[in-house]
Amino acid sequence: MPPKALDYEQLNENVKKVQYAVRGELYLRASELQKEGKKIIFTNVGNPHALGQKPLTFPRQVVALCQAPFLLDDPNVGLIFPADAIAKAKHYLSLTSGGLGAYSDSRGLPGVRKEVAEFIERRDGYPSDPELIFLTDGASKGVMQILNTIIRGAGDGVLVPVPQYPLYSAAISLFGGSLVPYYLEETANWGLDVNNLRQSVAQARSKGITVRAMVIINPGNPTGQCLSEANLREILSFCFHENLVLLGDEVYQQNIYQDERPFISSRKVLLDMGPPISKEVQLVSFHTVSKGYWGECGQRGGYFEMTNIPPKSVEEIYKVASISLSPNVPAQIFMGLMVNPLKPGDISYEQYVRESKGILESLRRRARLMTDGFNSCRNVVCNFTEGAMYSFPQIRLPPRAIEAAKRAGKVPDVFYCLKLLEATGISTVPGSGFGQKEGLFHLRTTILPAEEDMPEIMASFKKFNDEFMEQYEDHRGYSRM
């Protein structure tokens, strides 16, 4: 038989080039082990509810009522739902045209986009236009759509931090563009040095690549750093001079674990800078209901906001969004609830504050526990997780471990992470999945295991690691930073 279109050899080459380590070899092996009955701690993906985080009660009450609007007429509804949840459900149902079962506008419900715009205005101090806000099935879908709009071919480059969240490398491969890496400085707590950006752009140009856009992830994934206002100004100024669209991945804006650098949005800094920069730099910012203290990953809700994008381009983005009709409506309601939360005096306010503070404070403690745990291990150094949901320790693999990995046909950090998984059930992602400097090795783990489990997990990690190092060290020298 001749080859067929869905035979492997015949597939779109861009599809085959895609790599996505967060659900790659390690995850697949962990899933196998789980099937075989081994207890797996899935720290490969920022998926808080999978590790026991409870959903916030109030938004769940509201969305449950929206799913079952017939309950609003039930005389007993007040026995199990508080009055403010009932009122909010009525509010959000009034924003739909036909409830949760009807497609919304392809950009999302106008009423929810208005609430997002009001949130952005309160946050940044500048008005925001709901017509420039598109709701999406999670932030990833929005990132993919914008990259698909920008990338015309292999000559188009996108600046991406290294280490990076592999959504970016995967989407750039899928759309046939070129990833232009810029390195974050591990020794400066994963800081972003604008001189590195200049070098990266110059190198890409020398290869004939037109750099068209730049991605920042703030707070950083997998690196956890929070960008300072001064740093953001440098970045925006760089984008202005180099004529780059800035994609601001700000999905972790609620996840901040230090007080020196609170979250500040790219958009606020851009507008603070005034003309010409504030009028010229094209910015797309992303947010989600999956992170923060919400962690509603499975609902798939997100938005992007466009600044300085011409109306004709916005129309094109709208048109392409229309092909898949509408983002899911329940998650749009979660987004509305997230950006327009309860206020003091509301019946459910105290419970809401107690739950969200509880999650956030625990995450802060876990960030510290994890960093300290890693730094207590032989040949492991780890920057503090200033924000987001991850630790990204450097693992200084002894040469003999690197040789053993080569013999096993594995990248050294994959080798290490597989051994860790088999020994402890801890499912991490090797640093090579995010990019790292040649000869250095890392892994990414979320800080999401339940706080009470954390001491045991870190002890189990330390035991594995220190034995691994003992086994492979030849007491002459290690790979070094």
Residues 20-39 interacting with a second copy (rule: CB under 8 A): 20, 22-24, 31
The site string for a second copy over 110-139 (x = CB under 8 A, - otherwise) reads ---------------------------xx-
CB of 283 to a second copy, least distance (A): 10
* DSSP designation for 479: -
- Residue number, 145 or 223, with CB nearest to a second copy: 145
Going through 289-438 in order, the beta strands assigned E by DSSP cover: 302-307, 380-381, 390-391, 394-395, 426-427, 429-430
- Say how many residues touch a second copy, by CB under 8 A: 102
Binding mask 144-183 for a second copy (x = CB under 8 A): x---xxxxx---x----------x--xx--xx--------
Provide the H-helix boundaries in 303-348.
311-323, 329-339
Question: Segment 37-76, which members bind a second copy (CB under 8 A)?
Answer: 45, 47-52, 55, 57, 60-61, 63-65, 67-68, 70-71, 74, 76
Q: Which of residues 314-353 bind a second copy (CB under 8 A)?
A: 316, 319-320, 322-331
End-to-end Cα distance, the chain: 53
Nearest to 440 by CA among 161, 163, 25: 163
- In the complex with a second copy, the residue whose CB is nearer, 83 or 325, is 325
Least distance from C-beta 380 to a second copy, angstroms? 28
In the block, tokens 């949005």 appear at 265
According to the binding rule CB under 8 A, does residue 101 interact with a second copy?
yes
* CB closer to a second copy out of 42 and 478: 42
| 299 is a contact residue toward a second copy (CB under 8 A) | yes
DSSP state of 32: H
- Quick one: tokens of 90? 């009525």
Site for a second copy in 253-292 (CB under 8 A): 280, 282, 284
Is the sign of the CA dihedral 145, 149, 151, 153 positive or negative?
Answer: positive
Contact flag: residue 310 with a second copy (CB under 8 A):
yes
Residue 296: Cβ-neighbour burial (10 angstroms; 0-12, 13-18, 19+): buried
Q: Least Å distance between CB 47 and a second copy?
A: 5
Q: Between 138 and 224, name the residue whose CB sits nearer to a second copy.
A: 138
The one-character DSSP state at 445 is: E
Q: Is 294 helix (H, G, I), strand (E, B) or coil?
A: coil
Question: Given candidates 98, 127, 262, 455, which one binds a second copy under the rule CB under 8 A?
Answer: 98
Alpha-carbon gap, residue 250 to 244, rounded angstroms = 18
Q: Can residue 300 be called a binding residue for a second copy (CB under 8 A)? A: yes
Q: Binder to a second copy among 219, 222, 295, 433 (CB under 8 A)?
A: 295
* Residues constituting the chain: 481
Cis peptide before 276 (omega within 30 of 0): yes
Positions in 198-257 near a second copy (CB under 8 A):
212-213, 243-245
Helices (H) and strands (E) in the chain — how many of each?
18, 14
CB 272 within 8 A of CB 123: no
